[in-house]
Structure 1
Amino acid sequence: MNHSCVNCLKTMLITLHFLCWLCGAFVVAFGEYQMMNSRFASLVTSFWPIYPANTLVVTGTIVTCVCYLGMLGSMKENRCMLISFFFLLFILLLVELAMACVFFVYSREIDSYFEKDLMQSLEIYRQSSPEGNKTIQEDFDAVQHLFRCCGVHGVSDWKGNIPISCCVKDPCSIPIQTYWQEGCLLKLTDWFARHYLNTAAGVVTMFIMQFICLCITIPVFCRFSQHGLGYQ
């Protein structure tokens, strides 16, 4: 491999690492934004490890750190950094593939946990006093108001103790009041599915870039090894 080809690969590798680093930083920022603005996390306690915002923050942080190591190793022509980057990125790719398989195989189980958590949150809300669990009360009210739904499967879930957020018209103090009849489970499931679709698109894009970086790292590392670079 001649010198110009190596320089081309090195430049391409640095550029890809920088783009991956930017993508990782953007994913972290987007995940933090979702965490600060989402009102649904407290309602799905068993679901939190794969909550879209948590997934984005964790994945983006790892990608940012790993790609920074690869970019620094490429710029300094350091074999130690490059081989560390290679193994870390390879492990990260395996983890991403494993997570994709888990989502695909256990999608129905995830839906059942989702329903169970919502029912548990509704019962806590229904049995709490007005000064009780404020977080769950405010989050459930926000969900019902935003998605125009009532309860988990329908208004009957509240067993007569229907909150104001279920009212179709405001004010809710009129004698004959109508409530949203559709449950929040299907609407929240659709909302999560849309967000996971966006998350999956970003993860697939990063996966492709990471795989290309992995392939280019091998010849660049071999070239540095031939010239004895990297451990000084």
Structure 2
Amino acid sequence: MSCLKCLKYTMCLVNFIFFICGAAVFGIGIYLMTSTRFSSILPSLQAMNIANTLFIIGIIITCVSFLGFLGALKENRCLLISFFILLFILMLAELAAACVLLMYERQIEKFIDEDLKSGLQKSINDRKNVTDTDDWDTVQLTGCFKKLQDAFENNLLNAGIGVIVVCIIEVLGMCFSMTLFCHISRSGLGYK
């Protein structure tokens, strides 16, 4: 029984930390949306700029971690199974994206290169005021596409380790939620 209490409060603490981090990422996304003008560097994906991406990631992290926190704290089976399902869907989406990136690496690289050139030309043509900032100004501080590509390839091991760590955290979250769910089911607490 004390192990389950420890598991419950560990799950609450970890999800609370993720909730705070998600809220911070969400807040940074909102700040960037309101304080500066960002345009997408990829014209084919207009909505994919830094601010929107942070905003969406923040919402996902905040919502999923809130379900896990509240489900563990209240020992609510419905919230715990929802947390499990959302983590499972996120993990499947991440694995599918990784597979697509590996299978179509050259085609994606060619598409991004062409789209970046098109986006740069559009940014130059659309710029009305030299004091305006957009994502291209940020990209120009880190160099061109080739430099970013080389940096990514040099840090491929670190990216792989990061993906593995995220998957381990998600699997642990799913295991913890299922353990609590099964304990609640066996104890007859039902839906509170």
TM-score scaled by length of structure 2? 0.72
1:134 to 122, 127, 131: 127
Q: Which structure carries more relative contact order (alpha carbon 8 Å, separation 6+)?
A: 2
Counterpart for residue 60 of structure 1: 58
Task: Please state which structure has a larger fraction of its residues in helix.
Answer: 2
CA drift of 1:59 comes to 3.0
Q: Which amino acid aligns with 1:89?
A: L
Q: Which amino acid aligns with 2:167?
A: F
Greater Cα offset, 94-103 or 20-29: 20-29
Matches within 5 A, 1:105-120: 105-120=103-118
Q: Within the alignment, does 1:5 sit opposite 2:21 as a pair?
A: no
Q: Within the alignment, does 1:218 sit opposite 2:178 as a pair?
A: yes
TM-score scaled by length of structure 1? 0.62
What secondary structure is seen at the aligned counterpart in 1 of 2:191? coil
| Deviation digits for residues 88-115 of structure 1 (CA, Å, limit 9, x no counterpart) | 1111111121122222322322221222
Note if contact 1:18-1:71 (Cα within 8 Å) is conserved in structure 2. yes
CA drift of 1:121 comes to 3.8
Structure 1: stretches of 5+ with no match in the other structure: 149-183
Whole-angstrom CA distance in 1 between matches of 2:78 and 2:92? 22
Matches within 5 A, 1:21-40: 21-29=19-27
Q: In the superposition, relative to structure 1, how do residues 142 and 39 fare at CA in structure 2: closer, same or farther (>3 Å)? A: farther
What secondary structure is seen at the aligned counterpart in 1 of 2:40? helix
Q: In the superposition, relative to structure 1, how do residues 40 and 108 fare at CA in structure 2: closer, same or farther (>3 Å)? A: farther
Counterpart for residue 179 of structure 1: none
Note if contact 1:74-1:82 (Cα within 8 Å) is conserved in structure 2. yes
CA drift of 1:50 comes to 6.2
Note if contact 1:42-1:136 (Cα within 8 Å) is conserved in structure 2. no
Whole-angstrom CA distance in 1 between matches of 2:2 and 2:191? 23
What secondary structure is seen at the aligned counterpart in 2 of 1:108? helix
Q: What is the CA RMSD across the aligned residues, in angstroms?
A: 4.0
**Alignment: residue pair count:** 190
Counterpart for residue 188 of structure 2: 228
Whole-angstrom CA distance in 2 between matches of 1:201 and 1:111? 22
Q: In the superposition, relative to structure 1, how do residues 210 and 144 fare at CA in structure 2: closer, same or farther (>3 Å)? A: closer
Q: In the superposition, relative to structure 1, how do residues 50 and 123 fare at CA in structure 2: closer, same or farther (>3 Å)? A: closer
Structure 2: stretches of 5+ with no match in the other structure: none
Whole-angstrom CA distance in 2 between matches of 1:50 and 1:199? 21
Whole-angstrom CA distance in 2 between matches of 1:32 and 1:197? 32
Whole-angstrom CA distance in 2 between matches of 1:70 and 1:110? 35
Whole-angstrom CA distance in 2 between matches of 1:41 and 1:196? 28
Q: Percent identity?
A: 41
CA drift of 1:83 comes to 1.3
Counterpart for residue 81 of structure 2: 83
What secondary structure is seen at the aligned counterpart in 2 of 1:43? coil
Structure with higher Rg: it is 1
Counterpart for residue 15 of structure 1: 13
| Deviation digits for residues 3-41 of structure 1 (CA, Å, limit 9, x no counterpart) | 212212211221222233233334434555676789884
Note if contact 1:44-1:114 (Cα within 8 Å) is conserved in structure 2. yes
Note if contact 2:40-2:47 (Cα within 8 Å) is conserved in structure 1. no
Q: In the superposition, relative to structure 1, how do residues 220 and 147 fare at CA in structure 2: closer, same or farther (>3 Å)? A: closer
Q: Which amino acid aligns with 2:108?
A: I
Whole-angstrom CA distance in 2 between matches of 1:212 and 1:55? 26
